A and B are shown apart, each in its own frame.
Chain A
Amino acid sequence: MTMTLTNPHPALDAEVTEAPVFYLVDEHAHAEGHSTMLGFWIYLMSDCLIFAMLFAAYGVLGGNYAAGPAPKDLFELPVVALNTSMLLLSSITYGFAILAMQEGRVGRTQVWLAITALFGLSFVGIELHEFAGMIAEGATPQRSAFLSSFFTLVGTHGLHVSAGLLWIVTLMVQVGRYGLTQANRRRLMCLSMFWHFLDVIWIGVFTFVYLLGVLR
C-alpha cells in the first residue's frame, strides 16, 4: 500500500484506502502577499512575450520603407542617447529609493521616488518630442510597414513607462499616507521590478531599433 506515504491523515486510513490523496487537505498558513513577487515576476515575463512579438514584427517589417523615410533619415542618435541616459538614471535613483525604504526612511524614499518620476517624465517627454518631429516630417505610422512597427514597439514601451509614472505617484501618496507598511514595501518592490524591467526592454529597443537601424 504505497498511498499511505502521501496520506497526511493516517488516522483516516481505513476510510480513504480507496481514495489516494494527491494534495494537501489542510493548507498551511501563508503570510499575506507571500506569492506576490513571484506572481508579478510571471506577469513581467508575459509582458516580455508581448515585447518579443513586437520586436519580431519590427524585425520582419523594419526594412519595408515603402519608398518612405529610412531609420537613417529619421533617427537622431544624440537624442536617443539622452533618452537612454534618462532611463538609466531613473533606474539608479529607483534603487536609491529602495535603499531608503530598507532603512525605513519615509521622506527620503519619497524624494528618490520623485526624482525617479522626473527622469521618467523627461524620458516620455523626449520620446513624444521625437515622435512629434517625425510625424511633422510626414513619417507617420501609416507611412510604411517600418514606421507602423516602429511606433507600435516604441509606443508600447512608452505607454508602459507612462503607466509606471502613474504608479510611482500613487505609491508616493500611499507611502505618505500610510508609511512604509508591509503592503507598501511589497508594492514598492513590485514597481522596482517593473521599472528595471522596462529599462531592460529599452536596451533591446535602443540596440535593435535605433543603433542597428542607423547602421543598416
Chain B
Amino acid sequence: MSADAHAGDPAHGHDASPGHSTLRGYLIGFGLSVVLTAVPFWLVMTGVLDSKLATAFVVMALAVVQIVVHMIFFLHMDAKSEGGWSLMALLFTLILVVIALTGSLWVMYHLNANMMPAMHDTSQMP
C-alpha cells in the first residue's frame, strides 16, 4: 500500500494510505468493544448494583471508554493523521456537541421546573 500515488508527496502522505490498519489492532479493538458492550448490558439486565444512579454512571463511563476505543482502533484516529486536522475537527465537534447537549438539557430542565408548580397548586391562580 505504500506505493500509492502519494508516495512522492510527503506533505500529504497520510491521507488515503491506510497503512495503520493491522489485524492485531482490529482484534484488540473488537475484544475491548465486546467487553465494554457486554458489561453495561449485564449490569442493567441483572441489576447487580443496588443503586440505579451508580449503574447509570458506570454504563455512561463505559460508553465513553468504548467510543474512545472505536476511535483509536477502528477509525485510526491519532494526532498525526491529516497533519492533525482530523483530531482538530473531532475536538471542535466534541466541544459543539457538549455545548449543544448540556445547554439543551440544562435550559429545558429549568423551563420544566419553572412551569410545574402551577400544575400542582391551581388555587393560587387568579
CA distance A98 to B19 in the complex (A): 10
Complex interface: chain B residues within 8 A of A211 (CB): 40-41, 44, 59
Chain A, residue nearest B111 (CB): A60
Chain B, residue nearest A84 (CB): B37
Chain B, residue nearest A197 (CB): B75
Tell whether A166 is near chain B: CB-to-CB under 8 Å: no
Tell whether A7 is near chain B: CB-to-CB under 8 Å: no
Which of B60, B82, B97 makes the CB contact (< 8 A) with A207?
Answer: B60
| Complex contact A56–B100 (CB within 8 A) | yes
Complex interface: chain A residues within 8 A of B71 (CB): 200
| Complex contact A60–B105 (CB within 8 A) | yes
CA distance A42 to B87 in the complex (A): 10
Chain B: minimal CB distance from A119 (Å): 13
Known A-B contacts A31-B9, A41-B86; the reply to A215 vs B44 at CB < 8 A is yes
Complex interface: chain A residues within 8 A of B85 (CB): 38
Complex interface: chain B residues within 8 A of A30 (CB): 9, 12
| Complex contact B89–A45 (CB within 8 A) | yes
Chain B: minimal CB distance from A203 (Å): 5
A-B contact count (CB 8 A): 148
List residues of A (54-110) whose CB comes within 8 Å of B's CBs: 55-57, 59-60, 77-78, 80-81, 84-85, 88, 91-92, 95-96, 98-99, 101-102
Complex interface: chain B residues within 8 A of A57 (CB): 104
Tell whether A160 is near chain B: CB-to-CB under 8 Å: no
Complex interface: chain B residues within 8 A of A56 (CB): 100-101, 104-105
Tell whether A212 is near chain B: CB-to-CB under 8 Å: yes
Chain B: minimal CB distance from A94 (Å): 8
* Interface bracket on A: 35 or more
| Complex contact B21–A99 (CB within 8 A) | yes
Tell whether A186 is near chain B: CB-to-CB under 8 Å: yes
Complex interface: chain A residues within 8 A of B19 (CB): 102
Q: Which of B9, B16, B86, B100 has the most CB of A within 10 A?
A: B16
Q: List 22 A-B contacts (CB under 8 A).
A: A34-B16, A37-B15, A38-B86, A42-B89, A45-B89, A45-B93, A56-B105, A60-B104, A77-B44, A80-B41, A81-B37, A81-B45, A88-B34, A91-B33, A92-B29, A98-B21, A185-B16, A186-B16, A196-B70, A199-B74, A207-B59, A208-B60
Residues of A within 8 A of B (CB): 30-38, 41-42, 45, 48-49, 52-53, 55-57, 59-60, 77-78, 80-81, 84-85, 88, 91-92, 95-96, 98-99, 101-102, 182, 185-186, 189, 192-193, 196-197, 199-200, 203-204, 206-208, 211-212, 214-215
